[in-house]
Structure 1
Amino acid sequence: MNPTKDNSFIENEEENQTRAVTEKSTHDAGVQVEYPRGLKLIAIMTSLMLGTTVMALDATIISVATPKISTQFRALEDVGWYGAAYSMLLTAMTPVASNFYKYFQPKYVYLGSILIFEVGSVVCAAAPTSASFIAGRAIAGIGAAGLLQGAFGILTYVCTLEKRPLFLGGVVSLFGLFASLGPVIGGVLTQRSSWRWCFWINLPIGGLVFALIVLFLSLHGIDQTTRQLPLKTKLRKLDLPGVILMIASVSCLFLALQEGGVKEPWGSARPIGLLVGFCLIFIAFGIWQWKAGEDATVPVRYLRDRTVIWGSLYLFWDNMASYITIYYMPFYFQAALHQSPLKSGVSYMSLAVPQMIGLFAGGGITTATGHYMPVILVAQVLCGIGSGFLTTISTSTKTVVWAVFMVLTGLGIGLGVNVPHIAIQAVMETDNDIFIANGIASFFGQLGGSLAIPISNAVLLKGLRNFVPKYAPGVSADAAIAAGALDVDTLTQSPVDLHGLRQAWAHSVGWVNILLTAVICISVPTALGMRWLNIKKVSQEREQAKQKQAGQNDSKGSLTDHSPN
């Protein structure tokens, strides 16, 4: 038997099956879609919003609980992995999750993502050792990637393109709010009960999401071209080599950022080797994606679309800006203004609440006018003004002043964050294309957010080493860094040096805000690269095309019924 002929036969058979499915789905595409309404729509939107809520909580709730967890496990050296394991798998698996939504039924992929996330939460909550806790964080990160992509993609079956910005704003707004509330909730649970409740809390929320999806989510108008392929063909098209290369490259990058400048100097062999490994593996990943064509994890044709690539780059910078404010403004409140972690969380609401309002407002304006590009440009102006003023904060800055700066920054971040996803849904016509393109954009966004933390940390430390000797000469910079934000009072008995230490922290956070302002300014030209479209017009054209196709299919069906046997 000739193996070459056997392989050729198998490939031809798969092509025939694909062609048959394509012809059927083309006929089905003409069916007019009935979008959910009333109670059913409310239940679906509630489930998607809660799904992003648990994901957002899990990303930030651990920040306050980390000292207690590492102390209980006696594993201070593992602290960096508590956040990195989650964000590393979330980033790497985001485009992979998009492929699963492309080849399998979205409802079941979303339910599977919830289960994986819940399993990760249980492993964390019940973890007897630091290693098992890290494993739970990694599992939760995999599930979170599916939740994020599912929320973006399922909206294509819930409402027309014209209404999608408003619905998308609702889903993402809770993400921003609860990402900001995470440290506050984590602090309350850790202080009043146990750090383990930071993860047990995900179970009832996730269970409610699972039940609502099972009971109310029935999707119509799904492109069956890829979803009706044989399982063997689907598994081959999931691009396992590409997935392995993606995870390996992202892991090298995260390890380098985790250890460089923290455990070992940046000039040492290990961080440099990891960065070189990241570059080489990422190049190999790019070559493989080019060779894999449409079966790639990240098909190259999407990167040729200017809205996808420029929108992805915008999300990279926008998420970087968002994470800088989430992680580093609390240092100003706690170290410079001497606020408790709980009060610091309340102060941060001056940015988080306007950010949520901006998300809703941006979606509402885009839905009403059809234009999304003016929204993102106004957003960047507001954000740039607010962050620019935040570079001037000091210990003497009045509350109303820094609060106004925070409001402007939060409103700007909220207004702009959804625009790339809206633009992608305007330029991509099929649900499969929307899943993959959104996956690419989300990958860049997660990567930007993850890179923001170590880069900002380096800026903060450099600022402390510069300002502590200047404002508090009686205290060493290394001692101030080792004490952290909450133990500033323990470093000196001198009121002058204590005031100087707080001033040093304020100016160091000001340096971080200079980075924030630079990031926002860089994001403006990337936003301008996206196509200027009116989504109301695009939506109307698509609905008319569906109705026309449905009418043609009805005519063909009528002719077939009356044809002689």
Structure 2
Amino acid sequence: MFSLSLGTFLMALDSTIISVATPKISTDFHALDDVGWYMAAYGMTLCAFTPVLSSFYKHFDPKIVYLAVIFVFEVGSALCAAAPTSASFITGRAIAGLGAGGLLQGAFGLLTYVCDLKTRPLFMAIIVSLFGLMSGIGPLIGGAFTDDVTWRWCFWINLPIGGSVFFLVLFFMKLVGVDPTPRQIPLREKLRSFDVLGIILLLGSVICLFLALQIGGTQDPWSSSKPIGLLVGFGLLAIAFGLWQWKAGDQATIPLRFFNDRTVVWGSLYLFWDNMANYIAIYYMPYYFQAGQGVSPIRSAVEYISLAVPLMVCLLLGGGITTATGHYMPVILVAQVLAAVGTGLLTTININTTTAQWATYMALTGAGLGMGVNVPHIAIQAVFENDNDIFIANGIASFFGQLGGSMGVPIANAILLDALHTEVPKYVSNISADAVMDAGASGVNTLSSSPSVIHALRSAWAVSVAKVNILLVVVICISVPTALGMRWLNLKKISDQRELEKRE
């Protein structure tokens, strides 16, 4: 249990430590336009390989697969730490994303071998709560490194942590009740059973989508040939992928039979929208603090705790309530109400918003986002009993969740850049929006020696971030009906029934 938690800690730290360092990284590389890529490259490979790695967990020793993804993640982290250019940094993020694609779903799947269904919601909440913990501590660590050493240590730190996880899993993790049958199949037959064409079509469609989101509205207008062509390519490849999955049956990368269960369908869609909101908040609220308020990266991280702590506490609270009562649907409904209120209030922030106001808004948002994020994975554990089915279903849910989170960042980045082009001329006449974007969030003070001009620029940044937060409200509102679509089940009753069947 500790090793799984530490592995998730590694992924959570990497996902959150970069948020507060991103303004400094983009400033050092003079590449504000690349900010969306810092998450998109990571998310692109993470999304594409999440269902692929589910197949690996199904056909191979899950412990060995888990060790392999940790190793790949470490290689990507090392490349990010040593990156001399923005392009090489993006390459490292892509490799790290490939490894990350197997960490969280691996932890959820391996839990089936170390605890029973009744206690899984609490243990899953503990594992996922590390994302909440790291969303508070991660930016603090990132801010400290960025201010006092260098942002590169945000990635060097992954190496000793990842090495510790590798050692603990290799020597101390014991899996009980693993079905040996799939692992006894000869390697050649295992490789033959992989859906190679499906993997290629999935990779192609995801790459086209992310390239379109990154290019459209920033490098090229949405009406130009590049983004349109990429979106058409995405659509055609996605259709081809769906048709091939239907033909491939149970050998498919994403077997379509899983979509016969409404919990998988609606739970995956819920994670898509909830993670999108989560990633937007993590990545873009630091811009409000650093560019809008003019605080340092580490102070920005301290202020972000107002969202992170409620997120972690409510995530654990939701897991505890589900474990105690057996019911998970009331938890997700309360989460939606809190998130809707919090994100709605965040659209009102400006340079004059008081600390008490933005802290309250962020606390409500964090509570809502945290309380509901674990529910679909808990529901999947209740719906499926077969271990391999749990791996695949969790992989599908994780795929859609990471897809939503990764799509949200470039979409939000396009909104932010467009807002800056609109707002900067309203506040200052002698400094262009391009100059503001080139200076980055941490370089506002370099644009003028006049306090009034700096104040005006910070106002433009604050209003621009508020416009990004409108996307948060839209996303949360869309997620409400998806939460209602999942099956209302009682984990305690299902667990007792399964135990009774085993005895008989």
Q: CA deviation at 1:79?
A: 6.6
Please say if 1:205 is aligned against 2:157.
no
Worse-superposed segment, 535-544 or 259-268: 259-268
Aligned mates of 2:25, 2:268 — CA distance in 1: 35
Matched, 1:361 2:317: yes
Match of residue 337 from structure 2: 381
Counterpart pick for 2:296 among 340, 351, 358: 340
Within 1, Cα distance between the matches of 2:411 and 2:477? Answer: 17
Contact 1:472–1:496 under 8 Å retained in 2: no
* Partner AA of 1:275 in structure 2: L
Sequence identity percentage: 67
Does residue 400 of the first structure (1) align with residue 400 of the second (2)? Answer: no
Q: Which residue of 1 aligns with 2:414?
A: 458
Is 1:390 equivalent to 2:346 in the alignment?
yes
Instruction: Please name the residue that 2:386 is paired with.
Output: 430
In structure 2, do the counterparts of structure 1 residues 278 and 210 end up closer, same or farther at CA, with 3 Å as the change threshold? Answer: same
**Separation in structure 2 between the aligned mates of residue 283 and residue 233 of structure 1, nearest angstrom:** 28
* Cα separation, 2, equivalents of 1:528 and 1:147: 28
Question: Counterparts in 2 of 1:33-52, with a 5 A limit?
Answer: 45-52=1-8
Question: Which region of structure 1 is more displaced relative to structure 2, 253-262 or 367-376?
Answer: 253-262
Corresponding position: 1:444 with 2:437: no
2:288 aligned partner, one-letter code: Y
8 Å CA contact 2:58–2:182 kept in 1: the answer is yes
The answer on whether the counterparts of 2:307 and 2:366 sit within 8 Å (CA) in structure 1 is yes
Q: Deviations over 1:318-359 (max 9, x none)?
A: 001101111111121122222111101100000011101111
Aligned partner letter, 2:158: N
Confirm or deny that 1:544 pairs with 2:500: yes
Q: Does 1:318 align with 2:283?
A: no
Corresponding letter in the other structure for 1:99: S
Query: Which residue, 486, 492, 498 being the options, matches 1:530?
Result: 486
Q: Of residues 57, 63, 82 in structure 2, which corresponds to 1:101?
A: 57
Q: Is residue 488 of structure 2 the alignment partner of residue 519 of structure 1?
A: no
Give the match's secondary structure for 2:366: helix
Q: Deviations over 1:453-492 (max 9, x none)?
A: 1211222233333333334455444443343322333444
2:7, 2:165 within 8 Å by CA — same for their partners in 1? yes
Distance in 2 of aligned mates of 1:163 and 1:178: 23
Rg: which structure is higher? 1
**Kept in 2: contact 1:61–1:186 (CA 8 A):** yes
Contact map agreement 1:59 1:86 (CA 8 A) in 2: no
How many angstroms does 1:74 deviate by?
9.1
Computed over aligned residues only, the root mean square deviation of the Cα atoms, in angstroms, reads: 2.4
Note closer, same or farther for the CA distance 1:215–1:327 as it changes in structure 2 (3 Å cut): same
| Separation (CA, whole Å) in 2 of partners of 1:110 and 1:183 | 26
SS of 2:184's partner is: coil
What's the offset of the Cα at 1:389?
Answer: 1.4
How far apart are residue 502 of structure 1 and its match?
2.5
1:226 Cα deviation from its structure 2 partner: 2.8
Instruction: Return the offset for 1:48.
Output: 1.2
CA distance 1:536–1:67, shift in 2 (3 Å) = closer
Whether the aligned pair in 1 keeps the contact of 2:135 and 2:305 (CA below 8 Å) is no
Retained in 1: the 8 A contact 2:43–2:405?
no
1:252 aligns with 2:208: yes
Structure 2 unaligned segments of length 5 or more: list them: none
CA deviation after TM superposition for structure 1 residue 534, in Å: 0.5
The aligned residue for residue 414 of structure 1 is: 370
Residue 118 of structure 2 aligns to a residue whose secondary structure is coil
1:294 correspondence with 2:250: yes
Q: Deviations over 1:348-388 (max 9, x none)?
A: 00001110111111100000011000000001101111111
Deviation at 1:209, TM superposition (A): 1.1
Q: TM-score, normalised by structure 2?
A: 0.93
**Cα offset, 1:501, TM superposition:** 2.9
Q: Are 2:449 and 1:489 aligned?
A: no
Q: Distance in 2 between matches of 1:255 and 1:151?
A: 30
Asked whether the 8 Å contact 1:355–1:414 carries over to 2, the reply is yes
Structure with the bigger RCO (C-alpha within 8 Å, sep 6+) is 2
Q: 1:160 to 1:239 in 2, by over 3 A?
A: same
Match of 2:260 in 1: 304
Equivalent residue for 2:72, pick from 92, 96, 116: 116
Quick check: 72-81 or 97-106, which moved more?
72-81
| Counterpart contact for 1:311–1:441, Cα < 8 Å | yes
Shift of 1:90: 0.8
Distance 1:439 1:277 in 2: 24
TM-score, length-normalised on structure 1? 0.84
What is the Cα deviation at residue 67 of structure 1? 7.3
Q: Distance in 2 between matches of 1:494 and 1:270?
A: 41
Task: Check conservation: 1:474, 1:497, Cα contact below 8 A.
Answer: no
